[in-house]
């Protein structure tokens, strides 16, 4: 009996992209110091700095949507390189800015470039990994960004003491280094329009897809809770007798948990969970961790609660992106992932408002309890999305994707199948009798456990 993602190596493209983005993440600390630069270097008020930061955040929403469109029309690799180079140019301009007005304009431009490379990165992972390996691939991608974030904090601590402007220079250099790796090491984009290459998506409009909209709503709730933790934890710790700086330690614990917990995704009970169940389990774990925050009184208790909610994050992030990638035809994945990713832009605006208001009105314990309640509602909602995914109509005509083809070949070798050819246009496998070819589906091959119908793939089976 085999389970999704067990025992198979991820494609080389996934590993190269993970390494490249981890390098980029090492420098992704300058935005955190944008408000500090405005107040300390130019003497602007905190309110002005907050407005500039908000303008940057709002600009990232159209940036992500444009990145998804370009990923499907221009190509994955080209869009990643374009976004990284644009970020580098604007970062260097910020480092040399001479006024608050200049920084404000550059902050908006940086926001418009900041998310361009995210949807094509995610789409490239979905293109390279087979449907059963996407959860593991996206989780590895998230873990690499978390690991890079830990290194980014150390670099920021060293460079920031010297000159804040150099933080933006270092960030620009890591963007260029990542762009070079992507351009030189990753496979090129196919020639011509991706619609022609994939057979057309039939005019797919992501916002009209009910399954994607349901995932977007759930993703927005999750992102709002997650961003709320990032914003509220430093404010809530002093109310429990701890230092605000202890939040940095807890964020590091979360990153370590995400990285160290990757092998859990390959365990048989975890790998075999249907996506809605896995997402609901993750939400319940996050709720348990936040409930722990509500009653915690010392640093060890906060560390334990952080480990619990970080395990929930581990369950959810990779699985959610894998589900969204499966909803779309290959030529529409960039746009689908971009639409889903805008949930983080919405959360960036909503979370600070909700978190600070709750903290002021009901205190730290009430705030964490409310966030835990939202996660329980989210768990129920994710179970409710399950039937919608199962009833999903086909996203495109039957065809084996690159990752699925590798999976089929490996499965045939492992199970000793006499058939050795790839699937044909009708979904059958070469070899065997005509009756076997007509009645055998991917999910029904001998010796293989039936799987949850994959969104966007179930209809093609």
Above 80 in pLDDT, residue 453?
A: no
Contact by Cβ (8 Å): 327, 395: yes
Q: Answer for the pair 136, 265: CB distance below 8 angstroms, yes or no.
A: yes
149 φ/ψ angles, rounded to the nearest 5 degrees = -65, -35
Instruction: Tell me the percentage of the chain whose pLDDT exceeds 70.
Output: 77
Residue 315 has pLDDT above 70, yes or no: yes
- 85 three-state secondary structure: helix
Q: pLDDT by residue (tens digit) across 179-237?
A: 998 999 888 877 654 444 444 444 458 888 888 999 999 999 999 999 888 878 888 88
Three-state secondary structure of 42-53: HCCCHHHHHHHH
Q: Give 110-147 pLDDT, tens digit per residue.
A: 989 988 999 999 899 988 887 778 888 888 888 888 77
How many CA within 13 A on the CB side of residue 205? 2
Closest alpha carbon to 189 in 328, 334, 23:
334
For range 139-163, the mean pLDDT: 75
Q: In sequence order, which residues have a C-beta less than 8 Å from that of residue 102 and are 6 or more positions away?
A: none
**What are the residues whose beta carbons fall under 8 Å from the beta carbon of 47, sequence distance 6 or more?**
none
Return all residues near 256 (Cβ < 8 A) that are at least 6 apart: 150
Please give the distance of CA 458 from its chain centroid, rounded to a whole number.
23
Q: 3-state DSSP helix/strand/coil percent for the chain, to nearest 5? A: 75, 0, 25
Q: How far is CA 132 from the centre of its chain?
A: 17
Percent residues over pLDDT 90 in the chain: 25
Structure tokens at 302: 């906060």
Q: Let me know: does 57 contact 349? Beta carbons within 8 Å.
A: yes
Mean pLDDT across 19-46:
76
pLDDT at 89: 95
Structure token pair of residue 112: 């418009």
Nearest to residue 282, comparing CAs of 139, 146, 148? 139
pTM of the model: 0.72
- Provide the 8-state DSSP code for 429: B
pLDDT at residue 393 in the model: 56
Nearest to 142 by CA among 320, 273, 18, 274: 18
What's the pLDDT score for residue 286?
A: 96
Picking from 417, 456, 397, the residue whose alpha carbon sits closest to that of residue 131 is 456
Contacts of 410 (CB under 8 A, 6+ apart): 8
Q: How far apart are CA 283 and CA 67, in angstroms?
A: 29
Compute the radius of gyration of the chain from its Cα atoms: 23
- Token reading at 38: 């405005």
Q: Would you say the C-alpha torsion 389, 395, 400, 405 has a positive or negative sign?
A: negative
Kindly report the CA angle at 135 between 411 and 452, in degrees rounded to 5? Answer: 65
Give how far the C-alpha of residue 224 lies from the chain's centroid of Cα atoms, to the nearest Å: 14
How far apart CA 53 and CA 45 sit, in angstroms, is 13
- What's the mean per-residue pLDDT of the chain? 77
State whether residue 345 is helix, strand or coil: helix
Q: 20: pLDDT confidence band, cut at 50, 70 and 90?
A: confident
273-288: average pLDDT = 92
Burial (0-12, 13-18, 19+ Cβ within 10 Å), 162: exposed
């Amino acid at each position: 009996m085999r389970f999704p993602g067990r025992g198979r190596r991820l494609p080389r493209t996934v590993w190269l992209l993970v390494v490249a983005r981890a390098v980029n993440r090492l420098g992704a600390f300058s935005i955190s110091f944008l408000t500090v630069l405005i107040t300390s270097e130019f003497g602007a008020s905190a309110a002005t700095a907050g407005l500039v930061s908000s303008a940057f955040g709002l600009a990232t929403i159209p940036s992500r949507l444009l990145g998804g469109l370009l990923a499907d029309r221009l190509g994955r690799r080209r869009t990643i390189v374009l976004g990284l180079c644009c970020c580098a140019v604007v970062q260097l301009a910020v480092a040399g800015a001479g006024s608050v007005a200049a920084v404000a304009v550059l902050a908006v431009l940086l926001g418009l470039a900041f998310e361009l490379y995210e949807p094509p990165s995610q789409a490239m992972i979905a293109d390279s990994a087979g449907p059963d390996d996407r959860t593991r691939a996206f989780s590895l991608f998230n873990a690499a960004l978390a690991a890079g974030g830990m290194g980014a904090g150390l670099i920021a601590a060293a460079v920031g003491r010297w000159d804040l402007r150099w933080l933006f220079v270092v960030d620009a250099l890591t963007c260029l280094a990542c762009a070079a790796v992507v351009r030189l090491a990753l496979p090129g984009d196919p020639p011509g329009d991706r619609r022609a290459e994939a057979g057309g998506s039939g005019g797919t409009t992501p916002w009209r897809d009910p399954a994607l909209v349901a995932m977007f709503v759930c993703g927005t709730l999750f992102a709002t809770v997650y961003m709320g933790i990032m914003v509220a934890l430093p404010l809530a710790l002093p109310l429990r007798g701890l230092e605000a700086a202890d939040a940095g330690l807890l964020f590091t614990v979360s990153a370590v948990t995400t990285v160290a917990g990757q092998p859990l995704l390959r365990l048989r009970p975890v790998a075999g969970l249907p996506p809605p169940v896995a997402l609901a389990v993750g939400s319940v774990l996050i709720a348990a961790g936040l409930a722990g925050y509500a009653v915690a009184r010392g640093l060890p208790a906060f560390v334990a609660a952080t480990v619990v909610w970080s395990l929930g994050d581990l369950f959810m992030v990779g699985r959610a992106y894998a589900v969204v990638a499966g909803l779309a035809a290959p030529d529409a994945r960039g746009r689908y992932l971009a639409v889903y990713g805008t949930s983080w832009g919405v959360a960036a605006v909503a979370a600070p408002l909700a978190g600070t208001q709750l903290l002021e009105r009901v205190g730290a314990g009430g705030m964490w309890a409310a966030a835990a309640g939202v996660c329980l509602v989210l768990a129920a909602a994710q179970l409710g999305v399950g039937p919608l995914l199962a009833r999903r109509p086909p996203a495109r005509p039957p065809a084996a994707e690159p990752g699925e083809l590798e999976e089929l070949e490996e499965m045939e070798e492992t199970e000793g199948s006499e058939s050795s050819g790839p699937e044909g246009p009708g979904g059958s496998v070469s070899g065997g009798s005509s009756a076997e070819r007509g009645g055998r589906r991917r999910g029904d091959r001998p010796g293989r456990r039936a799987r949850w119908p994959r969104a966007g793939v179930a209809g093609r089976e």
